[in-house]
Chains A and B, each alone.
Chain A
Amino acid sequence: MNGKPVLRVDRLVAGYEPGLPIVNGASLTLRAGEIVAILGPNGAGKSTLIKAIAGLVATPSGQIWLNGTDLRPLPAHKRTALGLGFVPQTENVFTRLSILDNLKLAAGILPAAGRAAAIDDVLSLFPDLAARPALLAGRLSGGQRQMLAVARALVVKPRILMLDEPSAGLSPRLVLEVFAQLGRIRAQGITILLVEQNVKAALALADRGIVLVGGRERHEGRSADLLGDPGLGALFLGGDAVRETGS
């Protein structure tokens, strides 16, 4: 992928408590149209990094640039309006709202005239959701919630879609379904940044992988190279992680 850089994170420090950084000087660049997977062992700071980019975790230092705009001073909702979509790992839908209301809520930042069309567009990607728009999101299964969360993020046509562990808690069949959907989303020109524990599935989908250890990137490379690197699994992914998680 040789697209134009759309997101640049430079020496970012982020954490939940002052003086206790979880992300400790991480840097990455995301190019238009590519899929990048952030990998690493538990506690490496993967989720904290993606939340910090979304504006949910304090960032005492470093830089986050989205298409030339400095995101650090902006609250989360303004980052969303600039085209940064984020799907959290858990509690990623409003359970007391219907499927349609979840989508209408997200479409609220679009001009009023385009909201209905945007919702129709996204529902055409998710026939399961389109079949019962009045159903409360709280009554959906884990996989369906994940789909709704992705659909909700897509309604506003983000430039970048960030997902935190989209395969967590899903059956292998649903994981395949979710990842196939991500492939289709990328085909629409949306850049994707995902955090994943399911290393093999993530690298099978992604163009590049970034391995995070101790809150900063240790290794970065093309997915095929990472998958073929026997030392990497042992060093950074917990021994046989590459083989096991993808089986």
Chain B
Amino acid sequence: MSLQFLADGLLAGLLIGLGAIGVTLTYAMLRFANFAHGEMMSFGAYVAWSASFLLSALAGTAWPAMGPFSITAAVLLGGLAAMILTAGLALLLDRLLFRHLAGRGEAITLVIASFGASMALRSLIEFAFSSSPLYFSSDLQIAVRLGMGIRVTPDQLALIGLTLCLLLAIHLLVTRTQAGRAMRAVAENPTLAAVVGLDVRRVVGLTWVMGGALAAAAGTMAGILVQIRPNMGFDFLLPLFSAAILGGIGSIPGAILGGIVIGLAEAACVQFVGAEWRAAVAFLILVLLLLLRPRGFFGEAA
């Protein structure tokens, strides 16, 4: 039996986990599901594509691929620009929209506002870039055999490595720095965090920045792996929320673990059941989870 689903699922799961970190933290801190998070992924992917296109145009020629990878230095720089600009977009959404609505009414007000922001962003992207898919590279990648029926492209290996580096950086940030401790504290108990002397608003802003940057990284990588479409972020929403809830709301390791589980389950479904059922997997896991263990892996009991 081929174990290809393990490689495909791990990569997809890591990307879902990256995106789910922002979802789980904003949910824990602001007590609402941000449906615009998927569009932050799309926005990031389009910014990365535009920046790499611009860099190539400025250079007057396409940037050379690095070794066996289709990824160029322009794409990496574009990804970096995407992380910065998407962090800015997340902060802007917080300042212009969510901060004003938080605490005024019910959580549903924020949810509906995020739906509105999601639709507006998606329409803006479609207006600017059309609904036709875009590609970072048209180069053909030759997959390498890893044994046990697993084949991966050099790009997939590079992205797994990049994602693991990003996750290590996040781990160090949240466990070894005061900013990270503050984010975990506010996610767990914002009132106590204020009593301890934390400026909760500032910590929430920092979380938007981190969530936005990670969403952009995940979106860019998803774009490199497949293609960029205005709907790509929206398609990620269900896996993102499933991963966040599976891991336990507010838990960063939980979001990553949840993402990997969802990614592996989807890939196994594609390989053993059929690709047409893929989208149903995250939904099924979410429903089962809400019925059987609503607090997820690392969540606190209500």
Enumerate chain A interface residues (CB-CB to B < 8 A): 54-56, 75-77, 80-81, 86, 88, 91-97, 101, 104-106, 108-109, 138, 152, 156
Binary per-residue interface labels of chain B (180-192) against chain A in the complex, 1 for a CB within 8 Å, 0 otherwise? 0110110011011
Contact with A96, one of B194, B197, B251 (Cβ below 8 angstroms)? B251
**B199 CB-CB contact with A under 8 Å:** yes
A96 touches B195 (CB 8 A): no
Contact partners of B195 in chain A: CB under 8 A: 54, 56, 76-77, 80, 86, 88
Binary per-residue interface labels of chain B (230-270) against chain A in the complex, 1 for a CB within 8 Å, 0 otherwise? 00000000000000000000110000000000000000000
Not counting A80-B194, A108-B178, a sample of 16 additional A-B residue pairs whose C-beta atoms are within 8 angstroms of each other reads A77-B195, A77-B196, A77-B197, A77-B200, A80-B195, A81-B197, A92-B192, A94-B189, A94-B192, A97-B181, A101-B181, A105-B178, A105-B181, A105-B198, A108-B182, A109-B197
Output the least CB separation between B205 and chain A (Å): 14
For window 11-70 of chain B, which residues contact chain A by CB distance below 8 Å? none
Contact partners of B106 in chain A: CB under 8 A: none
Q: Give Cα A97 to B251, complex, Å.
A: 11
B181 touches A80 (CB 8 A): no
Contact partners of B184 in chain A: CB under 8 A: 94, 96-97
For window 195-217 of chain B, which residues contact chain A by CB distance below 8 Å? 195-200
20 residue pairs from A and B, CB less than 8 Å apart: A56-B195, A75-B199, A77-B195, A80-B197, A81-B197, A91-B189, A91-B191, A92-B192, A93-B192, A94-B188, A94-B189, A94-B192, A96-B188, A97-B185, A97-B188, A101-B181, A104-B181, A105-B178, A108-B181, A108-B198
Output the least CB separation between A228 and chain B (Å): 36
Q: Residue on A with the closest CB to B195?
A: A86
Output the least CB separation between A234 and chain B (Å): 36
Q: Give Cα A101 to B185, complex, Å.
A: 10
Question: Nearest 10 pairs between A and B by C-beta?
Answer: A80-B197, A76-B194, A109-B197, A105-B181, A108-B178, A77-B197, A94-B185, A86-B195, A106-B196, A77-B194
Contact partners of B251 in chain A: CB under 8 A: 96
Output the least CB separation between B175 and chain A (Å): 8
Q: Residue on B with the closest CB to A137?
A: B188
**B300 CB-CB contact with A under 8 Å:** yes
Output the least CB separation between A244 and chain B (Å): 31
A106 touches B189 (CB 8 A): no
Q: Give Cα A152 to B199, complex, Å.
A: 17
Output the least CB separation between B295 and chain A (Å): 13
